[in-house]
Amino acid sequence: MKVFLVGGAVRDQLLGKPVKDKDWVVVGSTPEEMLANGFEQVGKDFPVFLHPQTHEEYALARTERKQGKGYTGFVCHAAPDVTLEEDLLRRDLTINAIAQTLDGELIDPFNGCEDLEKGVLRHVSPAFAEDPLRILRVARFAARYHHLGFTIAPETLVLMIEMVNSGEASHLVAERVWQETERALAEPHPAIYFQTLHQCGALNLLISPLAITKQAIPDAALNAIEIAVTGKQPVVVRFAAFIISLITSIHSIQQTSTLACFEQFAENIKLPNQFKAITKAGIQLLKPLTTPPLSANTIWQCLKQADAARRAERFEHIITALNCAATSLQQPLALTADKLLIISQKVKQIDIHALQSQGKKGKALGNAIAEQQLSIISQTLASQQ
Protein backbone atom coordinates (compact mmCIF):
# COMPACT_ATOMS: atom_id res chain seq x y z
CA MET A 1 0.00 0.00 0.00
CA LYS A 2 1.40 3.39 -1.04
CA VAL A 3 -0.06 6.79 -0.13
CA PHE A 4 0.26 10.01 -2.16
CA LEU A 5 -0.88 13.59 -1.59
CA VAL A 6 -2.76 14.73 -4.71
CA GLY A 7 -4.79 17.50 -6.32
CA GLY A 8 -5.34 20.95 -4.90
CA ALA A 9 -3.07 20.51 -1.89
CA VAL A 10 -0.03 19.86 -4.12
CA ARG A 11 -1.03 22.61 -6.55
CA ASP A 12 -1.53 25.25 -3.85
CA GLN A 13 1.67 24.25 -2.10
CA LEU A 14 3.64 24.76 -5.31
CA LEU A 15 1.94 28.13 -5.85
CA GLY A 16 2.85 29.22 -2.32
CA LYS A 17 -0.80 29.32 -1.30
CA PRO A 18 -2.20 28.10 2.03
CA VAL A 19 -3.23 24.44 1.88
CA LYS A 20 -6.77 24.12 3.24
CA ASP A 21 -7.76 20.52 2.55
CA LYS A 22 -5.60 17.52 1.86
CA ASP A 23 -6.70 14.67 -0.40
CA TRP A 24 -4.82 11.41 -0.57
CA VAL A 25 -4.71 8.55 -3.06
CA VAL A 26 -3.97 5.04 -1.91
CA VAL A 27 -2.39 2.67 -4.43
CA GLY A 28 -2.32 -1.11 -4.01
CA SER A 29 -4.93 -1.45 -1.29
CA THR A 30 -8.46 -2.77 -0.85
CA PRO A 31 -11.52 -1.61 1.12
CA GLU A 32 -11.00 -4.50 3.52
CA GLU A 33 -7.41 -3.44 4.25
CA MET A 34 -8.44 0.19 4.77
CA LEU A 35 -11.17 -0.81 7.21
CA ALA A 36 -8.76 -3.12 9.05
CA ASN A 37 -6.42 -0.13 9.51
CA GLY A 38 -9.16 1.88 11.22
CA PHE A 39 -10.34 3.98 8.26
CA GLU A 40 -14.05 4.78 7.96
CA GLN A 41 -15.62 4.32 4.54
CA VAL A 42 -17.79 7.22 3.31
CA GLY A 43 -17.93 6.77 -0.46
CA LYS A 44 -20.67 4.80 -2.18
CA ASP A 45 -19.83 5.25 -5.86
CA PHE A 46 -16.15 4.57 -5.21
CA PRO A 47 -14.16 3.76 -2.07
CA VAL A 48 -13.30 6.89 -0.09
CA PHE A 49 -12.19 6.64 3.52
CA LEU A 50 -11.62 9.00 6.43
CA HIS A 51 -8.35 8.74 8.33
CA PRO A 52 -8.99 7.63 11.95
CA GLN A 53 -6.99 10.57 13.39
CA THR A 54 -6.90 13.42 10.86
CA HIS A 55 -10.29 12.65 9.20
CA GLU A 56 -8.72 13.60 5.86
CA GLU A 57 -10.00 11.79 2.77
CA TYR A 58 -8.13 8.81 1.41
CA ALA A 59 -9.43 7.43 -1.91
CA LEU A 60 -8.38 4.17 -3.49
CA ALA A 61 -6.73 4.70 -6.87
CA ARG A 62 -9.38 4.34 -9.56
CA THR A 63 -10.18 4.66 -13.23
CA GLU A 64 -13.41 5.89 -14.81
CA ARG A 65 -15.36 4.78 -17.86
CA LYS A 66 -18.01 6.93 -19.49
CA GLN A 67 -21.31 5.17 -20.14
CA GLY A 68 -23.98 7.85 -19.74
CA LYS A 69 -24.67 11.55 -20.17
CA GLY A 70 -23.40 14.37 -17.97
CA TYR A 71 -21.03 14.28 -15.04
CA THR A 72 -22.85 11.36 -13.38
CA GLY A 73 -22.52 9.01 -16.36
CA PHE A 74 -19.35 7.27 -15.16
CA VAL A 75 -18.52 3.80 -13.93
CA CYS A 76 -15.59 3.78 -11.50
CA HIS A 77 -13.14 0.93 -11.08
CA ALA A 78 -10.99 0.78 -7.94
CA ALA A 79 -8.58 -2.12 -7.52
CA PRO A 80 -5.07 -2.78 -6.16
CA ASP A 81 -3.69 -2.96 -9.71
CA VAL A 82 -4.77 0.60 -10.63
CA THR A 83 -1.60 2.69 -10.85
CA LEU A 84 -1.04 6.23 -9.63
CA GLU A 85 -0.60 7.46 -13.20
CA GLU A 86 -3.91 5.88 -14.22
CA ASP A 87 -5.61 7.66 -11.32
CA LEU A 88 -4.03 11.01 -12.23
CA LEU A 89 -5.00 10.53 -15.88
CA ARG A 90 -8.72 10.87 -15.07
CA ARG A 91 -8.25 14.33 -13.52
CA ASP A 92 -9.31 17.55 -15.24
CA LEU A 93 -6.24 19.80 -15.49
CA THR A 94 -2.54 19.07 -15.49
CA ILE A 95 -2.02 21.41 -12.53
CA ASN A 96 -4.42 19.19 -10.55
CA ALA A 97 -2.74 15.96 -11.67
CA ILE A 98 0.47 16.26 -9.65
CA ALA A 99 1.13 13.85 -6.77
CA GLN A 100 3.58 13.96 -3.89
CA THR A 101 5.07 11.12 -1.88
CA LEU A 102 5.20 11.17 1.89
CA ASP A 103 8.88 12.10 1.51
CA GLY A 104 8.03 15.18 -0.55
CA GLU A 105 8.99 13.83 -3.98
CA LEU A 106 6.80 15.15 -6.81
CA ILE A 107 5.32 12.78 -9.36
CA ASP A 108 4.22 14.72 -12.42
CA PRO A 109 3.46 12.49 -15.42
CA PHE A 110 1.52 15.18 -17.33
CA ASN A 111 3.87 18.19 -16.87
CA GLY A 112 1.61 20.00 -14.44
CA CYS A 113 4.57 21.73 -12.80
CA GLU A 114 5.58 23.27 -16.11
CA ASP A 115 2.03 24.49 -16.68
CA LEU A 116 2.02 26.00 -13.18
CA GLU A 117 5.21 27.89 -13.99
CA LYS A 118 3.83 29.10 -17.33
CA GLY A 119 0.37 29.87 -15.95
CA VAL A 120 -1.54 27.52 -18.25
CA LEU A 121 -4.82 25.73 -17.58
CA ARG A 122 -4.54 22.62 -19.77
CA HIS A 123 -6.65 19.45 -19.83
CA VAL A 124 -4.94 16.17 -18.98
CA SER A 125 -6.48 13.97 -21.68
CA PRO A 126 -9.31 13.87 -24.21
CA ALA A 127 -11.43 12.27 -21.47
CA PHE A 128 -11.89 15.85 -20.22
CA ALA A 129 -14.73 16.14 -22.76
CA GLU A 130 -16.71 13.41 -21.03
CA ASP A 131 -17.59 15.56 -18.02
CA PRO A 132 -19.40 18.87 -18.77
CA LEU A 133 -18.87 20.07 -15.20
CA ARG A 134 -15.22 20.55 -16.11
CA ILE A 135 -16.19 23.50 -18.29
CA LEU A 136 -17.32 25.31 -15.15
CA ARG A 137 -14.28 24.19 -13.17
CA VAL A 138 -11.88 25.56 -15.78
CA ALA A 139 -13.79 28.85 -15.80
CA ARG A 140 -13.60 28.96 -12.01
CA PHE A 141 -9.86 28.31 -11.98
CA ALA A 142 -9.46 31.05 -14.60
CA ALA A 143 -11.27 33.40 -12.20
CA ARG A 144 -9.08 32.29 -9.30
CA TYR A 145 -5.70 32.64 -10.98
CA HIS A 146 -6.30 35.49 -13.44
CA HIS A 147 -4.22 37.90 -11.35
CA LEU A 148 -1.31 35.43 -11.56
CA GLY A 149 -1.44 35.60 -15.35
CA PHE A 150 -3.04 32.20 -15.92
CA THR A 151 -4.70 31.57 -19.28
CA ILE A 152 -6.57 28.62 -20.77
CA ALA A 153 -4.58 26.53 -23.25
CA PRO A 154 -5.97 27.05 -26.78
CA GLU A 155 -6.54 23.32 -27.25
CA THR A 156 -8.48 23.15 -23.98
CA LEU A 157 -10.70 26.06 -25.00
CA VAL A 158 -11.35 24.35 -28.34
CA LEU A 159 -12.38 21.21 -26.47
CA MET A 160 -14.74 23.22 -24.25
CA ILE A 161 -16.36 24.77 -27.34
CA GLU A 162 -16.76 21.32 -28.89
CA MET A 163 -18.44 20.09 -25.70
CA VAL A 164 -20.98 22.90 -25.94
CA ASN A 165 -21.59 22.39 -29.65
CA SER A 166 -22.00 18.63 -29.25
CA GLY A 167 -24.70 19.10 -26.62
CA GLU A 168 -22.67 17.54 -23.78
CA ALA A 169 -22.87 20.79 -21.78
CA SER A 170 -26.67 20.71 -21.92
CA HIS A 171 -26.57 17.78 -19.48
CA LEU A 172 -25.28 19.96 -16.65
CA VAL A 173 -27.39 19.64 -13.51
CA ALA A 174 -28.75 22.91 -12.11
CA GLU A 175 -27.60 22.26 -8.54
CA ARG A 176 -24.02 21.60 -9.61
CA VAL A 177 -24.07 24.60 -11.94
CA TRP A 178 -25.06 26.84 -9.05
CA GLN A 179 -22.52 25.22 -6.73
CA GLU A 180 -19.68 26.01 -9.12
CA THR A 181 -21.06 29.49 -9.86
CA GLU A 182 -21.35 30.39 -6.18
CA ARG A 183 -17.78 29.25 -5.60
CA ALA A 184 -16.65 31.27 -8.63
CA LEU A 185 -18.35 34.38 -7.26
CA ALA A 186 -16.04 34.16 -4.25
CA GLU A 187 -12.89 34.06 -6.41
CA PRO A 188 -10.70 37.15 -6.90
CA HIS A 189 -11.98 37.75 -10.48
CA PRO A 190 -15.51 36.33 -10.88
CA ALA A 191 -16.04 38.35 -14.05
CA ILE A 192 -13.48 36.06 -15.72
CA TYR A 193 -15.70 33.08 -14.87
CA PHE A 194 -18.60 34.52 -16.84
CA GLN A 195 -16.35 35.72 -19.66
CA THR A 196 -14.83 32.25 -20.03
CA LEU A 197 -18.24 30.61 -20.15
CA HIS A 198 -19.37 33.12 -22.78
CA GLN A 199 -16.19 32.55 -24.77
CA CYS A 200 -16.84 28.82 -25.07
CA GLY A 201 -20.57 29.28 -25.66
CA ALA A 202 -21.76 27.83 -22.36
CA LEU A 203 -23.04 31.00 -20.70
CA ASN A 204 -26.31 31.25 -22.59
CA LEU A 205 -27.07 27.64 -21.65
CA LEU A 206 -26.67 28.52 -17.99
CA ILE A 207 -28.44 31.87 -17.84
CA SER A 208 -31.34 31.07 -20.19
CA PRO A 209 -33.59 32.94 -20.83
CA LEU A 210 -31.29 35.93 -20.20
CA ALA A 211 -29.57 35.22 -23.50
CA ILE A 212 -26.68 37.45 -24.56
CA THR A 213 -26.95 38.19 -28.26
CA LYS A 214 -23.91 40.44 -28.43
CA GLN A 215 -20.38 39.30 -29.21
CA ALA A 216 -19.40 39.96 -25.60
CA ILE A 217 -20.97 40.31 -22.18
CA PRO A 218 -22.02 43.96 -21.67
CA ASP A 219 -19.22 45.93 -20.03
CA ALA A 220 -21.65 47.28 -17.44
CA ALA A 221 -22.31 43.77 -16.11
CA LEU A 222 -18.61 42.94 -15.86
CA ASN A 223 -17.80 46.31 -14.31
CA ALA A 224 -20.60 45.93 -11.75
CA ILE A 225 -19.22 42.68 -10.42
CA GLU A 226 -15.69 44.12 -10.32
CA ILE A 227 -16.96 47.11 -8.33
CA ALA A 228 -18.54 44.68 -5.86
CA VAL A 229 -15.28 42.71 -5.61
CA THR A 230 -13.24 45.86 -5.05
CA GLY A 231 -15.64 46.78 -2.25
CA LYS A 232 -15.14 43.30 -0.74
CA GLN A 233 -18.86 42.61 -0.96
CA PRO A 234 -20.31 39.16 -0.23
CA VAL A 235 -21.12 36.82 -3.09
CA VAL A 236 -24.85 37.61 -2.98
CA VAL A 237 -24.11 41.27 -3.71
CA ARG A 238 -21.65 40.36 -6.47
CA PHE A 239 -24.24 38.15 -8.11
CA ALA A 240 -27.09 40.64 -7.80
CA ALA A 241 -24.97 43.51 -9.17
CA PHE A 242 -23.99 41.38 -12.18
CA ILE A 243 -27.52 40.22 -13.01
CA ILE A 244 -29.13 43.64 -12.48
CA SER A 245 -26.60 45.25 -14.84
CA LEU A 246 -26.83 42.39 -17.31
CA ILE A 247 -30.62 42.54 -17.55
CA THR A 248 -30.60 46.31 -17.87
CA SER A 249 -28.00 46.16 -20.63
CA ILE A 250 -29.69 43.49 -22.74
CA HIS A 251 -31.86 45.41 -25.20
CA SER A 252 -33.53 42.26 -26.56
CA ILE A 253 -35.47 41.85 -23.33
CA GLN A 254 -38.50 44.13 -23.12
CA GLN A 255 -39.06 45.95 -19.83
CA THR A 256 -42.46 44.28 -19.35
CA SER A 257 -40.95 40.80 -19.50
CA THR A 258 -37.74 41.42 -17.58
CA LEU A 259 -39.01 40.08 -14.26
CA ALA A 260 -40.62 37.09 -15.94
CA CYS A 261 -37.30 36.28 -17.62
CA PHE A 262 -35.48 36.60 -14.32
CA GLU A 263 -38.02 34.36 -12.57
CA GLN A 264 -37.52 31.69 -15.24
CA PHE A 265 -33.74 32.00 -14.99
CA ALA A 266 -33.91 31.66 -11.20
CA GLU A 267 -36.02 28.53 -11.56
CA ASN A 268 -33.73 27.02 -14.21
CA ILE A 269 -30.61 27.44 -12.09
CA LYS A 270 -32.35 26.63 -8.78
CA LEU A 271 -31.27 29.99 -7.38
CA PRO A 272 -31.29 30.08 -3.54
CA ASN A 273 -34.04 32.23 -2.03
CA GLN A 274 -31.69 34.87 -0.62
CA PHE A 275 -30.02 35.44 -3.99
CA LYS A 276 -33.38 35.50 -5.74
CA ALA A 277 -35.01 37.96 -3.34
CA ILE A 278 -32.12 40.43 -3.34
CA THR A 279 -31.62 40.36 -7.10
CA LYS A 280 -35.33 40.61 -7.87
CA ALA A 281 -35.75 43.59 -5.53
CA GLY A 282 -32.73 45.25 -7.14
CA ILE A 283 -34.23 44.82 -10.62
CA GLN A 284 -37.53 46.31 -9.45
CA LEU A 285 -35.97 49.25 -7.58
CA LEU A 286 -33.34 50.28 -10.12
CA LYS A 287 -35.58 52.60 -12.12
CA PRO A 288 -37.35 54.38 -9.23
CA LEU A 289 -34.10 54.89 -7.31
CA THR A 290 -32.19 56.25 -10.32
CA THR A 291 -34.90 58.66 -11.48
CA PRO A 292 -34.50 62.06 -9.78
CA PRO A 293 -35.88 63.78 -7.93
CA LEU A 294 -36.79 61.20 -5.32
CA SER A 295 -39.94 61.96 -3.39
CA ALA A 296 -40.55 60.80 0.17
CA ASN A 297 -43.34 58.59 -1.12
CA THR A 298 -41.08 56.91 -3.70
CA ILE A 299 -38.47 56.11 -1.05
CA TRP A 300 -41.20 54.89 1.30
CA GLN A 301 -42.58 52.57 -1.38
CA CYS A 302 -39.08 51.22 -2.04
CA LEU A 303 -38.47 50.58 1.65
CA LYS A 304 -41.83 48.85 1.92
CA GLN A 305 -41.25 46.72 -1.16
CA ALA A 306 -37.84 45.61 0.13
CA ASP A 307 -39.23 44.99 3.64
CA ALA A 308 -36.42 47.18 4.96
CA ALA A 309 -37.90 47.58 8.45
CA ARG A 310 -37.77 43.84 9.15
CA ARG A 311 -34.87 42.79 6.94
CA ALA A 312 -32.19 45.41 7.48
CA GLU A 313 -29.27 43.29 6.31
CA ARG A 314 -31.08 42.20 3.17
CA PHE A 315 -32.02 45.80 2.38
CA GLU A 316 -28.36 46.79 2.79
CA HIS A 317 -27.38 44.07 0.31
CA ILE A 318 -30.04 45.29 -2.13
CA ILE A 319 -28.88 48.90 -1.96
CA THR A 320 -25.21 47.93 -2.18
CA ALA A 321 -25.84 45.77 -5.25
CA LEU A 322 -27.94 48.54 -6.77
CA ASN A 323 -25.19 51.05 -6.16
CA CYS A 324 -22.64 48.79 -7.91
CA ALA A 325 -25.00 48.27 -10.85
CA ALA A 326 -26.04 51.92 -11.07
CA THR A 327 -22.41 53.04 -11.04
CA SER A 328 -21.44 50.64 -13.82
CA LEU A 329 -24.51 51.60 -15.86
CA GLN A 330 -23.68 55.28 -15.37
CA GLN A 331 -27.14 55.76 -13.89
CA PRO A 332 -26.24 56.92 -10.37
CA LEU A 333 -28.73 56.55 -7.55
CA ALA A 334 -30.77 59.72 -7.10
CA LEU A 335 -29.97 59.50 -3.39
CA THR A 336 -26.65 58.00 -2.30
CA ALA A 337 -26.56 54.48 -0.93
CA ASP A 338 -25.35 55.80 2.44
CA LYS A 339 -28.31 58.18 2.75
CA LEU A 340 -30.79 55.46 1.79
CA LEU A 341 -29.35 53.21 4.46
CA ILE A 342 -29.54 56.01 7.04
CA ILE A 343 -33.22 56.48 6.20
CA SER A 344 -33.91 52.75 6.52
CA GLN A 345 -32.23 52.68 9.93
CA LYS A 346 -34.28 55.64 11.18
CA VAL A 347 -37.52 54.15 9.89
CA LYS A 348 -36.74 50.91 11.70
CA GLN A 349 -36.52 52.78 15.03
CA ILE A 350 -40.18 53.79 15.12
CA ASP A 351 -41.69 52.85 18.49
CA ILE A 352 -44.61 50.63 17.50
CA HIS A 353 -45.41 49.82 21.14
CA ALA A 354 -45.90 53.53 21.87
CA LEU A 355 -48.44 53.74 19.05
CA GLN A 356 -50.21 50.65 20.36
CA SER A 357 -50.37 52.19 23.84
CA GLN A 358 -52.31 55.05 22.25
CA GLY A 359 -54.99 52.53 21.32
CA LYS A 360 -54.01 52.19 17.68
CA LYS A 361 -54.40 48.76 16.15
CA GLY A 362 -55.14 47.07 12.85
CA LYS A 363 -55.46 49.45 9.92
CA ALA A 364 -55.17 52.49 12.16
CA LEU A 365 -51.84 51.23 13.49
CA GLY A 366 -50.59 50.58 9.96
CA ASN A 367 -51.57 54.09 8.89
CA ALA A 368 -49.86 55.63 11.93
CA ILE A 369 -46.63 53.71 11.23
CA ALA A 370 -46.72 54.76 7.55
CA GLU A 371 -47.32 58.40 8.56
CA GLN A 372 -44.31 58.40 10.88
CA GLN A 373 -42.17 56.66 8.28
CA LEU A 374 -43.06 59.25 5.64
CA SER A 375 -42.37 62.03 8.13
CA ILE A 376 -38.93 60.63 8.93
CA ILE A 377 -38.11 60.26 5.23
CA SER A 378 -39.29 63.82 4.45
CA GLN A 379 -37.27 65.29 7.31
CA THR A 380 -34.16 63.36 6.31
CA LEU A 381 -34.50 64.49 2.70
CA ALA A 382 -34.93 68.08 3.79
CA SER A 383 -31.83 67.93 5.99
CA GLN A 384 -29.76 66.53 3.11
CA GLN A 385 -30.57 69.40 0.76
Please write the tens of the pLDDT for every residue from 244-295.
999 988 864 444 478 888 998 999 999 999 999 999 999 999 999 999 888 9
DSSP state of 146: G
pLDDT over 70 percentage in the chain: 95
The predicted pLDDT at position 73 comes to 54
pLDDT in tens, 58-114: 999 998 776 556 555 557 788 899 999 999 999 999 999 999 999 999 999 999 999
Residue 219, pLDDT > 80, answer yes
Q: How far apart are CA 248 and CA 225, in angstroms?
A: 14
Q: How far apart are CA 306 and CA 284, in angstroms?
A: 10
Q: Are 50 and 74 in contact (CB under 8 A)?
A: no
The predicted pLDDT at position 254 comes to 45
The predicted pLDDT at position 252 comes to 46
Q: State the chain's mean pLDDT as an integer.
A: 90
> H or E stretch including 76?
strand 74-78
DSSP state of 57: E
> 189 to each of 244, 301, 326, how far by Cα in Å?
18, 35, 20
pLDDT over 90 percentage in the chain: 69
The CA-CA-CA angle for residues 74, 134, 51, to 5°, reads 65
Q: Are 212 and 261 in contact (CB under 8 A)?
A: no
**What domains can you pick out in the chain, each with its CATH number?**
1-120 (3.30.460.10)
Q: Kindly report whether the global pTM for this prediction surpasses the value 0.75.
A: yes
Residue 385, pLDDT > 70, answer no
Q: Under DSSP, is residue 336 helix (H, G, I), strand (E, B) or coil?
A: coil
User: 148-157, 182-191, 344-353: lowest mean pLDDT where?
Assistant: 344-353
Q: How far apart are CA 133 and CA 65, in angstroms?
A: 16
The predicted pLDDT at position 66 comes to 63
The predicted pLDDT at position 74 comes to 59
Residue 311, pLDDT > 60, answer yes
Q: Which of 204, 277, 206 is nearest to 240 (CA)?
A: 277
Give the CA radius of gyration of the chain.
26
> 311 to each of 323, 326, 351, how far by Cα in Å?
18, 22, 17
